[in-house]
Amino acid sequence: MNYHVAQAAWLNAINNFLLKNISEIRADFPILNKKVYNKPLIYLDNGATTQKPQCVIDKINEVFSSYNGNIHRGVHAISDKASEEYETAREKVRSFINAGKREEIVFTSGTTGSINALAFSFGERYIRKGDEIIISNLEHHANIVPWQMMCERKKAKLRIIPINDNGEILFDEYLKLFSPKTKLVAVSQVSNALGTILPVKKIISVAHTLNIPVMIDGAQGVQHGITDVKAMDCDFYVFSGHKIYGPTGIGVLYGKEKWLTELPPYQGGGDMVETVTFEKTTYNELPFKFEAGTMNFPGAIGLGTALDYVLSLGREDIEMRERELLEYATNRLSGIDKLKIYGVSDKKISTISFLLKDIHQYDTGMILDKLGIAVRTGTHCAQPVMDRFGIDGTVRASMCFYNTKEEIDVLGTGIEKVISMFS
Ligand code: PLP
């Protein structure tokens, strides 16, 4: 063994020693010990929301029991402490997604809140009659409806990137959608309905050659690998706290400073102003210009702790565990006769959408539920994806690092049981 090989093996051994094993990881999430219908809970609905580690639960408890004072307002000790923790959480978000400046991180209520805010502000500032916004056929309703509402207000149009039978966008068709009227591209990093990872770097680089800004919906991307907004070069990036092991009701709108400086605020109220008279109001500096009213500071602080937790596990390690789970689950489920997987791109996160021949997805979901297995059924708030495949919904098993191969086996057996009940 030469020196470098020995050194790599040694580092690997240390790394394995430092990494938590799966039982240690699962012990961090109290809900994973629960039973439903007297069966161990098998939680495979992580695309809808993720479970919370004890450190996040404790942190929120700490805010309310030790320093629940309204942020940026009081001169008193607990308001100061809450403000400091809130701004520390902003810094944690900045560093997690590798944004350049803390001013570029705006807290919102979630991905939906972020996209609505952007659609309103961007629409007010830049969109005129006949302008066009490009989105894809893979989008969640949260990345369709706010743009549609803005288009209705401004008499603008949506242009849609089509997808193929694997559930991947057709890149050549994307290129054809650009026109002098194109003002923005807004696409997902990862499809929630099928799990497809979109080629966002390529999407952005093409748009930028035409000086068109791009918003990336990171709701299903940020928790599954390393997101680096500088490397990606997106103009806006949005995500939700609750999908990355943090609390509900908190989310992030990242925007490059030059855009956030030009965009008008989308809500008025306390804290987003510098001076107010009845004649004129001047706005606060970034990012506070976009944070009107009392913000969800316990949520932001809890999100900061969730990001620390993810970093403590290691994002490469999370990616590796989830890749193994996807491979295992794909093999197990595709071996089941009468099961069809929707979304078969070779670039996917650990999500499997499927249907059983002649069995409605709700029946499948309800029987699995009685076996203690939580999956999502329906359109997954992505009706155009279902329309593209001519179906009215799927069953979706969305896995993350705390799931196990044993759980996938129980899912497989559960699905076989559903099939036998209906045959
Ligand atoms: N975008 C995508 C891709 C999603 O998966 C979701 C939620 O599932 C959303 C947006 C909306 O997120 P939220 O409901 O947290 O605002």
Q: Ligand 1 within 6 A of 404 CB?
A: no
Q: Ligand 1 within 6 A of 111 CB?
A: yes
* Ligand 1 pocket test target in 107, 140, 147 with most atoms within 8 Å of CB: 140
Residues of each domain in the chain carrying CATH 3.40.640.10: 56-311
SS3 of residue 179 by DSSP: coil
Q: Ligand 1 within 6 A of 351 CB?
A: no
For helices 145-154 and 111-126, the axis angle rounded to 10 degrees is 20
- Choices 3.30.70.3270, 3.90.1150.150, 3.30.70.580, 3.40.640.10: CATH for 56-311: 3.40.640.10
Separation CA 271–CA 94 (nearest Å):
21
pTM of the complete model beyond 0.75 = yes
The residues facing 348 across adjacent strands are 196
Look at residue 16 in the predicted model and tell me its pLDDT: 54
Q: Ligand 1 within 6 A of 109 CB?
A: no
pLDDT tens for each residue of 176-189: 999 999 999 999 99
Q: What's the CA-to-centroid distance between 189 and ligand 1, angstroms? A: 11
Mean residue pLDDT of the chain comes to 95
> Which atom of ligand 1 has the smallest separation from the CA of 242?
15
- Which of 151, 234, 381, 400 does the annotation list as catalytic? 381
* Ligand 1 pocket test target in 220, 349, 380 with most atoms within 8 Å of CB: 220
pLDDT tens for each residue of 186-222: 999 999 999 999 999 999 999 999 999 999 999 999 9
Catalytic annotation present for 381? yes
pLDDT tens for each residue of 88-135: 999 999 999 999 999 999 999 999 999 999 999 999 999 999 999 999
> Which atom of ligand 1 has the smallest separation from the CA of 189?
3
8 A C-beta contact, residue 306 and residue 241: yes
b/e burial code for range 41-65 (CB count within 10 A of at least 16 → b):
bbbbbbbeebbbbeebbebbebbee
In order of 125, 143, 275, 287, the CA distances from 281 in angstroms are: 18, 31, 6, 17
Mean pLDDT along residues 240-264? 98
Sheet with 214-217, strands from edge to edge, namely 105-108, 251-255, 236-240, 214-217, 182-188, 132-136, 157-161
Look at residue 18 in the predicted model and tell me its pLDDT: 56
- Strands 157-161 and 394-398 turn out to be unpaired
DSSP 79-114: HHHHHHHHHHHHHHHHHHHT-S-GGGEEEESSHHHH
Q: Ligand 1 within 6 A of 110 CB?
A: yes
Q: Ligand 1 within 6 A of 117 CB?
A: no
The residues facing 182 across adjacent strands are 132
Q: Ligand 1 within 6 A of 188 CB?
A: yes
H or E segment and range at residue 17: helix 3-18
CATH superfamily of 20-49+314-422: Aspartate Aminotransferase, domain 1 (3.90.1150.10)
Write the residue with the smallest CA distance to atom 5 of ligand 1: 192
Q: What's the CA-to-centroid distance between 241 and ligand 1, angstroms? A: 10
**What is the number of helices (H) and of strands (E) in the chain?**
15, 17
The count of C-alpha atoms lying within 13 angstroms of the C-alpha of 156, restricted to the half-sphere facing its C-beta, is 26
pLDDT tens for each residue of 373-397: 999 999 999 999 999 999 999 999 9
Residues of each domain in the chain carrying CATH 3.90.1150.10: 20-49+314-422
